[in-house]
Amino acid sequence: MAPNTQKRAAAKFYQEDIVRRKDDPSAYGVILRCWQDAEDMPPQGDHVDPLMRPLVQGEVGVSYFPKPVREIVSEDVLELVDRLYQPGDFLKRSVDDVRSGVVTSTHVKARLEHAVSGQPIPGWKDTDEVESTVDIDMGEYVIYNDWVGQVVEMFDESLVEVPGGTLVRLPELSARLAVGEKGSVKHTVLAIAWLAINQSLSPEEAQSRPRPQRYWYGSDLGKLTTVTRRAEEAMRVGDRVRLKDGSGPVTTHGRFTESYGAIEVDTLVVQETKTTVDVLWQDGTKETIDVKQTVPYLNPDEYDCWPGDHVIWKTEDEKRHVVVQSVNAQDRTAYVRVVETGAIELASVLELDPHGTGDWSALSPASDGLGVRRGDFVFIHREGTTNGAKPPMVPRIGEVEEWVRDPPTVGPNGQLGGWRREMTDIGTRIAEQRGQEGSVEEAPIKRPQKGDNSLNWFGEVLDLRLDGTIEVILPNSETVVVPLERLTRLYDSVEQLEDLWGDDEGTIEEGEEVEVWEMDQDGHWVEGTIDDDDDEWESADEELDADDSMDVESAEGGGDWSPSTDTVIPPLHVEPSSMVVDSVVPSEPPRPTSSEGRPHSPDVPKDATEPDDTEPDAHTDTPWKRFEVLPSAPVDHAFYNTPPAQHTRQFMARMAKEYKALQSSLPDSIIVRAYEDRTDLLRSLIIGPENTPYEDAPFVIDWMLDANFPQTPPIAHFLSWTNGNGRVNPVEEVGRNLYEEGKVCLSILGTWAGDKSESWSASRSSLLQALVSIQGLVLVKEPWFCEPAYEKLRGTEDGIVNSRLYNEKAYVLSRGFVRRALEIPLGGLEEELKCFYYTNGKLRKVLDDARTLIEKSRATKEVEELPEADRERAVPRLSSGGIITLERTLAKLQALLDAHPAAEEEGKR
């Protein structure tokens, strides 16, 4: 958060902004890349595309038109002409404004000129004064015989005027030409991916309508009906249109005496636009505003919601389906309408779940979720029926066939292969026969007509009403109001293919030397390099092999060990004085070196590598052993019911090393328990470090080692106590995540694709490294910036606001972890938790700290009003919504403390 750090200037431009050069007002362009974009950085080196190099703050990548010139320039040489939004987009007045709004509709005016002659049209034209000259385009939706499909490819015939005025026909796949560039363009073959069928049909009716054909051309094109989103009907720079009244200029091309004759062109091109939008602000007010007075809201908070949204209100006692009425973004509170009773109540936004998933991220919002959004295409079920889901969940349907997923292939002869080859053959044959007897002639594609009710089972979400109903605009331009449970959302081809995209970034080239941190023979972390030939992991005082690794006895105390017998490891015998502490001391932030000059891994907290000389306090009744092997695994272990793997002698030797490293090098704030009867299981308790949103909170992770360990990384399960209110650590590209469903995303665990230096290695990695990585990389002061796409926003207004919001949520949720850990007996750690929170007084500290924070928050309205020391805290103040949720938790924590007065009194001494 660093509120005392000088703030960096906010970005001036965003993707798709229309700009022009200050030194040449006739040079218009569109912004394609911005410094603040959440994007994979292109590799260093020479690039054919001048836009593909890393940007520095204040730079943008722009593509000019009509000449296709692309360059990276300073923002200072450009001025904003227009900003593009569509219904459902989020915006703010400025990046530091906590209140945001949702776009409900757009109004565009355009300046036009003739596509060929360049003759300007006087004045500005409204959208309702023009019509598109393009009958259909890539990505558009079509309907046939109760099926909804999407155009995924087109074969075009272009009439190109060459010098001398002669027209030449140019047939090709995806010509992407436009009137005014070379001539006229006709789409002759369409490849359509059929996604889903009318949901109002009975099963028998649906069965009688098989999936339509893949390729459409000739007279069959006239059987298709296009359905266009409102957003696509708005004019954008470069669009080709004509005036509805026919008053625009016309040019003639070609010769009437030649085979192709002459064509007349009345096409106009959009040169410049100016846009206003209707905005519904979070507080329920509505406004029509010039887009240049707004900025896109790129990083919505996990709990952001707007009037009309269907969300789940989750408290510790119940979950209720509610509809948002208004939101106070400053206080983080909302008035909601309880669907079951109709009552209007006040809620903390931290208790509202707008997504219905713990896997949500602003960078990649979940495709499934709660309710619907403006601009969604939806199927409407028959009256009296539902979508089959429990409200407010809305299912989505749409099947992309395998052929659509095939990437373009080129054969030895340079021709396309696969289905694109088939489509090209059809289009070429049609072009060759053009003008001959019996040649194929295209029928015009239909558009929905007013009064035609045949397509009223499909439409676009127009508005979300405060009573929970949904306003839908039908293809015939009529609007209907339907309950949420009668809607199913369309899952289209673009969405599905994007969901399938992988990420292979971050790999290391063969032979490249990478600095890493390794554990030497003395159990110390030292700097080294990756060596794939090194298969020996060294962490103990001596090398162990399969023959002299350790003495292993059966549970009964006798018998020889063999790979086929149950694996039993007795507790390691260590002096109690080296294994007990008064209280868990949160680890310092990771440092590269210690005061003694001992090198530390940047991923390892300081006390993970310091000698253990902690002595127990006089009033400590229960020893706190950081590492201990217990007789049996607890039945509440996440992997208790997983069949144990048959471990080899090499596995046992490796575990002896792992145990010795854990015994000697665990920081005071991490406890690990292993088990004699299940050597493949461990349980760890990590206490949240000081001055982080997680301070003093318990994080319990269960571990399992499969039969291939250490060749494969350990498997982790996070015991989340968020009550379904979301994760406690954000999405992050190097994989530092704690999800509420138990997933632990960390490169070293193989649950995220990091580069080679971060990934698990049998020779370099250890259980100790995995544990301290979670503490040192995940449970940090400013977790919102863990995401690389957000890291560069550190110091910006956008970053400061979002980080503070996230820290508040993490702090409030983690106070609830304390309650759950004390209420739910945790096998193998019950006494340690009681000692920490009751005997050592940490529960009293959690309560006092939280109440002090509440008092300071109520006394101030802004963080900047606090003393400098308080501003430097990970959570300097709470919103009203945060206080509402926190006070509920504190009441239950106080009740737990009151039930243990003896422990409290002991803790005060």
**What DSSP designation does 838 have?**
I
Identify the CA nearest to 801 among candidates 52, 33, 43, 95.
95
* Structural contact between residues 485 and 382, judged by C-beta atoms closer than 8 angstroms: no
* DSSP-derived secondary structure for 254-299: E-TTSTT-EEEE--EEEEEEEEEEEEEETTS-EEEEEGGG-EE--S
- CB-based burial of residue 111 (10 Å sphere; 0-12 exposed, 13-18 middle, 19+ buried)? middle
* Structural contact between residues 778 and 693, judged by C-beta atoms closer than 8 angstroms: no
User: Rounded CA gap, 462 and 528, in Å?
Assistant: 59
Give the CA distances from residue 468 to residues 289, 310, 484, in Å, rounded to whole numbers and listed in that order. Answer: 26, 7, 7
User: Rounded CA gap, 270 and 273, in Å?
Assistant: 7
Give the CA distances from residue 419 to residues 158, 408, 416, in Å, rounded to whole numbers and listed in that order. Answer: 22, 9, 9
**Amino acid letter at 341?**
T
Strands 487-490 and 396-397: parallel
H helix or E strand, kind and range, residue 771: helix 767-773
Identify the CA nearest to 788 among candidates 752, 764, 751, 741.
752
Residues forming beta bridges with residue 396, ordered by sequence position: 489
Question: Is the Cα torsion angle 551, 557, 563, 567 positive or negative in sign?
Answer: negative
Per-residue b or e along 495-533, where b marks 16 or more CB atoms closer than 10 Å to that residue's CB: ebeeeeeeeeebeeeeeeeeebbbbeeebebeeeebeee
**Amino acid letter at 102?**
V
Length of the chain: 909
Query: Half-sphere exposure (CA, 13 Å, Cβ side) for 372?
Result: 34
Alpha helices in 434-512 (DSSP H): 493-500
User: Rounded CA gap, 349 and 304, in Å?
Assistant: 8
Give the CA distances from residue 56 to residues 21, 36, 200, in Å, rounded to whole numbers and listed in that order. Answer: 20, 9, 53
Measured in degrees and rounded to the nearest 5, phi and psi for residue 702 equal -95, 145
User: Rounded CA gap, 615 and 617, in Å?
Assistant: 6
Per-residue b or e along 715-752, where b marks 16 or more CB atoms closer than 10 Å to that residue's CB: bbbbbbbbbebbbbbbbbbbbbbbbbeebbbbbbbbbb
Rg, Å, the chain Cα set: 32
Identify the CA nearest to 274 among candidates 576, 18, 630.
18
3-state secondary structure of 836: helix
Question: Is the Cα torsion angle 311, 312, 313, 315 positive or negative in sign?
Answer: negative
User: Rounded CA gap, 878 and 348, in Å?
Assistant: 12
Whether omega before 623 lies within 30 degrees of 0, making that bond cis, reads no
Bin 596: left if φ > 0, else alpha if -120 < ψ < 50, else beta.
alpha
* Structural contact between residues 209 and 197, judged by C-beta atoms closer than 8 angstroms: yes
Q: Tell me, yes or no, if 835 is annotated catalytic.
A: no
User: Rounded CA gap, 826 and 824, in Å?
Assistant: 6
User: Rounded CA gap, 637 and 705, in Å?
Assistant: 13
User: Rounded CA gap, 405 and 191, in Å?
Assistant: 13
Please tell me which residue in 34, 745, 786, 835 is annotated as part of the active site: 745
Active site residues: 745
